[in-house]
Structure 1
Amino acid sequence: MNFRIFIIFVLAITALIVLGIEYTSRPEFCSSCHEMKEFYTSWTTSSHRNVNCLKCHSDPGLVGLIKTKIKALGEVYHHFTQTYETPIKINSETWSFSRRCLRCHQEVVDKSNGPHNQKHFAMEMACTRCHEGLVHNPQTNTRLPSRQICRSCHGEAFK
């Protein structure tokens, strides 16, 4: 009898964990914190509005999910203690972050055979270096980078 209760307990805890992960992985959950509302709102009008948050904000697989959820616990702590950084930023200017972009956009690399783009890819330049704010900034929520962004590296060649 005790073994049966133990199994039921383990299954119940597992179900609660799975349901909790599912619930907290929804974009609407992310918007429940007031400091995230602006980012949620711009996401709803972006070209990525049908892409779940975890697709871009988590590495693939179970290990990536667990790491993201553990990190999110820290964010919950900062929310309730009101010690979060403003403006809210993530370190998206890394090639490892860009690999998340390439899960859906690998064809961009394959089709971009011009020397300019190939140089960016060869340097493992972060996608967000040029496409910053693509999803979470209504002012820059466009597919193509502005000339101002190009000028930040290329100077006056891009007037």
Structure 2
Amino acid sequence: MENKTQTSIKEIVMQKKVIYVIILLVLIAAGGMIAMAKASDKPEFCTSCHNMQSYYDSWHDGNLLAKKHADAGVNCHDCHQPSLTQQMDEGLKYVTDNFDDPMPKRQFSNEFCTKCHNMEDVKAKTLFDDKNGKVNPHDAHVGQQNCYECHSMHRESKLSCTECHTPQWLNKLPDYWKKTN
């Protein structure tokens, strides 16, 4: 009987140790996830992937729209909010060295852009004098276009108007715009 009691006590102690180890592992995993989430909020974290340095550089030091956004206090995750599935896919691509470099240009919807940019304000800022009078690339004669057709964050932006025209005001655009076809 005494031997059976000692065995029961040993089993209880062992079960408690297993529970404590499981709790410790869960706490370590949760702490790691929290630390990773905090680290990934910093734009510098993006450079830990092989092909992200140029994107960070254009945000941190460049003369592209990414730098304009950085100067306005916009960080990577303000625009890039990958789902858990996307993050896992990106991690797998990183580990297997299976990624595009450069990455394909993202095609954000107009609704995404206009969450921050008021189109009436944009149109007011982009009204130019031309030989034909006042013209505005954001009030184009071709109808509504997607913002990404002209605007690029991490690459030089290219005015789609130049596919058919050479606007007089093209040289008045900031440096991050391509000035020739």
The match for 1:89 is 104
CA contact (8 A) 1:56 1:101 kept: no
- The normalised TM-score by structure 1 is 0.63
Count of aligned pairs: 132
**Using the alignment, how far apart are the partners of 2:140 and 2:23 within structure 1?**
56
Q: For residue 69 of structure 2, what is the aligned residue in structure 1?
A: 48
Query: What displacement does 1:56 show?
Result: 0.9
Which has more radius of gyration?
A: 2
Q: 2:112 is matched with which residue? A: 100
Matched-pair contact (CA < 8 Å) for 1:30–1:40:
yes
Higher strand fraction: Structure 1 or Structure 2?
2
Structure 1 residue 102, shift from structure 2 partner: 2.2
Say if 2:137 and 2:161, in contact at 8 Å, map to a contact too: no
Q: Deviations over 1:106-129 (max 9, x none)?
A: x2x132277752459x73x32221
5+ long unaligned stretches in structure 1? 59-64
How do 1:62-77 and structure 2 match up within 5 A? Answer: 67=83, 69-77=84-92
C-alpha distance in 1 between matches for 2:32 and 2:165? 57
Identity of aligned residues (%): 24
TM-score, with length taken from structure 2: 0.56
Give the superposed CA RMSD. 3.3
Structure 1 residue 18 displacement after superposition? 2.8
Q: With a CA cutoff of 8 Å and minimum separation of 6, indicate the structure with the bigger relative contact order.
A: 1
Query: Which of 32, 36, 53 is residue 20 of structure 1 equivalent to?
Result: 36
Tell whether 2:150 aligns with 1:130: yes
What does residue 62 of structure 1 align with?
none
Structure 2's unaligned 5+ residue stretches are: 1-15, 62-66, 128-135, 169-181
CA 1:79–1:16: 2 relative to 1, 3 Å: closer
